[in-house]
Amino acid sequence: MSNFFKNSEIDISKAEKIVSETLKNCDDGELYLEDTKSEVIVLDDNKIKSSDYSTDLGYGFRAVTGEIIAYSHSNEISEKSLVNSSQNLKSSLKNKKGTYNYEIKNTNQKFYGDTDPVEEKSLKSKIDILNEINSYARSKDSSVKQVTANFIGEKKNVEILRAGGQLLKDERPLVRFNVSIMVEKNGKKETGVYGVGGRQSYDVYLNDDNWKKVCDEAFRIATTNLDSKPSPAGEMKVVLGPGWPAILIHEAVGHGLEGDFNRKKTSVFHNLVGQKVASDGVTIIDDGTLDKRRGSLNIDDEGTPTEKTVLIENGILKNFMQDRLNARLMNTKSTGNGRRESYKHIVMPRMRNTIMLNGNETQEEMIKSVDKGIFAVSFGGGQVDITSGKFVFNCTEAYEINNGKIGSPLKGATLIGDGPSSLKEILMVGNDMKLDPGIGTCGKAGQGVPVGVGQPSLLIDKMTVGGTKI
């Protein structure tokens, strides 16, 4: 049973007729229905700055033939609106002929519960805990001058109605809890930011005072940076810590392995399947099936069950990440990576949880082996240019390494490198694989989707560090 036609003047059988009729001469397509409610509560500058609740209901109607995607979306789930969209799609694809691919596997796999983070707790209880967080963070030290904390909760219900009447459904909870602390000492200001999240209830973070650990970590990062000195500039060895620094893998390699860039031959990896693209011992997967993780999905936004996709195995490029369109054009199967930000957006191949698996070395050995270099513990944002392979990251916590020992914290360090070459410059892979705390949002072509990353510690032979000290 569909939930979307209950309060609408159009019933599902009528909608199905329009969908089937519109798509009968197309290769693929569907009616994607989405109902999202979300809540953002922000504490800032000692006050509850905002409490916003929003609901968003709409559909996206897609028709695909050959390489061409026609898309129409609207907030009005009515017969009139669907017929309008249908006409719009047909006119975009007139003179094109395709054969509809009915095959999509049904699945019962479930990697998260039916939790509703927006309704499970009263607004009052969330406000109370934010105020408690504020007092706790400010009481940590007199250097704490500013605290911002927020809860972002979302419940997204998705239904996919395909030609022929197949109906696929998913209910997706998502929460995120973030704390930012600014400290000031001797006229110097620094911020530390830490957050956690996943497809689960807020309870995980709120029970047993788990939220205190989030505040402690934000405070620790801010304080560490108070003692930081200008970062050196130039090429040097880099040790990456485990967990969140894997966004380097996400940017440097992940995007380049998305099906669309490779079908279009704009990725540096497009003709390298089966070839050695990384050092021995480097295995990278993209996994949509991890329990309650931010990047996990039961089915992707085309209805394909997600899976664990091996991208690089022991240095050899194995697979790209595919949605249905790019898979069809490249004569392969969708890997369940077809995602969209919302019903307002077209599907593209996107990452889920992208992870480098464990090797055998220890972080200690890596640091010991470096004469002069940097140890990057956490990053802010990153970005990549798929075509040239160049990527960049801003370190939010980094230290110098001198003669095998960790030295002073560094400020303002940026790392820049080349995706394909950095993979080959991985000298050691650690045995301490960690997943990130659940805070990643990946942007591509203006669409943001929640993702996860993970990796063990890594030693990279040389990367360019951008600082102010030569």
Partner 1 sequence: MIKEENYLKKIAETCLTQSKKLGSSDASVVVMNAISENVNIRNKQLDGSERSDNLAVTLTTYIGKKKASISSSNLNEKNISKLVNRCVEATKITPEDEHNSLPEKELHYMGDKELELYDETHLDNEKKIDFIKEAEEYAFESDKIVNTNGSGFSENKSNFILANSNGFMDGYKTSQFTAYCEVVSKSNGSMERDYEYTTKRFFSDLLKPETIGRNAAKYAINKLNPKKIKSEKISIIFDKRISKNFLTNFAGAISSSAIAKGTTFLKDKINNQVFNKSINIIDRGNIIKGNGSRYFDSEGVKVDNLELVKDGVLKDYLIDSYNGKKINRKSNGRSSGTTNLYFENGELSFEDLIKSEKKIIYVNETIGRGANLITGDYSVGASGTMIENGEFMYPVSEITIAGNFNEMFQNITLANDLEFKYSTNSPTILITGMTVGGK
CA dist 55 and 13 (Å) reads: 26
Residue closer to partner 1 by CB (options 86, 354) is 86
Residue closer to partner 1 by CB (options 91, 186) is 91
At its nearest, how many Å lie between partner 1 and the CB of residue 380?
7
Residues 6+ apart with CB under 8 A from 253: 278, 284, 311, 312, 419, 423
Residue closer to partner 1 by CB (options 91, 108) is 91
Residue closer to partner 1 by CB (options 308, 390) is 390
Q: Helix, strand, coil % (nearest 5) of the chain? A: 20, 40, 35
In Å, how far from its chain's centre is CA 218?
21
Q: Does 469 bind partner 1 (CB under 8 A)?
A: yes
Listed residue (422, 414, 356) closest to 389, CA to CA: 422
CA atoms within 13 A on the CB side of 260: 19
At its nearest, how many Å lie between partner 1 and the CB of residue 222?
10
Q: Are 24 and 163 in contact (CB under 8 A)?
A: yes
**Which tokens go with 5?**
């036609």
Listed residue (153, 168, 93) closest to 336, CA to CA: 168
Match 């002929």 to its residue by tokens: 97
- DSSP reduced 3-state for 63: strand
Segment 137-196, which members bind partner 1 (CB under 8 A)? 145-146, 182, 184, 188-191
Q: Does 390 bind partner 1 (CB under 8 A)?
A: yes
Stretch of 22-30, 297-305, 409-417, 433-441 contacting partner 1, by CB under 8 A: 409-417
> What are the CB-based long-range contacts (under 8 Å, 24+) for 13-17?
14/79, 15/82, 15/161, 16/161, 16/165
Residues 6+ apart with CB under 8 A from 63: 22, 23, 26, 29, 69, 70, 71, 89, 90, 92, 93
Segment 4-43, which members bind partner 1 (CB under 8 A)? none
CA dist 380 and 297 (Å) reads: 25
At its nearest, how many Å lie between partner 1 and the CB of residue 224?
14
Residue closer to partner 1 by CB (options 23, 285) is 23
CA dist 169 and 32 (Å) reads: 10
State which of residues 109, 142, 383, 402 lies at the interface with partner 1 (CB under 8 A): 383
Q: Are 349 and 337 in contact (CB under 8 A)?
A: yes
Residue closer to partner 1 by CB (options 101, 191) is 191
Segment 36-75, which members bind partner 1 (CB under 8 A)? 44-45, 47-58, 67-75
At its nearest, how many Å lie between partner 1 and the CB of residue 361?
27
Residue closer to partner 1 by CB (options 60, 198) is 60
State which of residues 124, 186, 187, 331 lies at the interface with partner 1 (CB under 8 A): 124
CA dist 125 and 399 (Å) reads: 39
Segment 268-327, which members bind partner 1 (CB under 8 A)? 268
State which of residues 92, 157, 358, 369 lies at the interface with partner 1 (CB under 8 A): 92
Count, residues near partner 1 per rule CB under 8 A: 79
Q: Does 382 bind partner 1 (CB under 8 A)?
A: yes
Segment 448-467, which members bind partner 1 (CB under 8 A)? 464-467
Residue closer to partner 1 by CB (options 38, 107) is 38
Q: Does 376 bind partner 1 (CB under 8 A)?
A: no
The 205-244 site mask, x for binding partner 1 (CB under 8 A), equals --------------------------x-xxx---------
Residue closer to partner 1 by CB (options 182, 273) is 182
Stretch of 193-201, 237-245, 328-336, 384-392 contacting partner 1, by CB under 8 A: 384-392
Q: Are 251 and 284 in contact (CB under 8 A)?
A: no
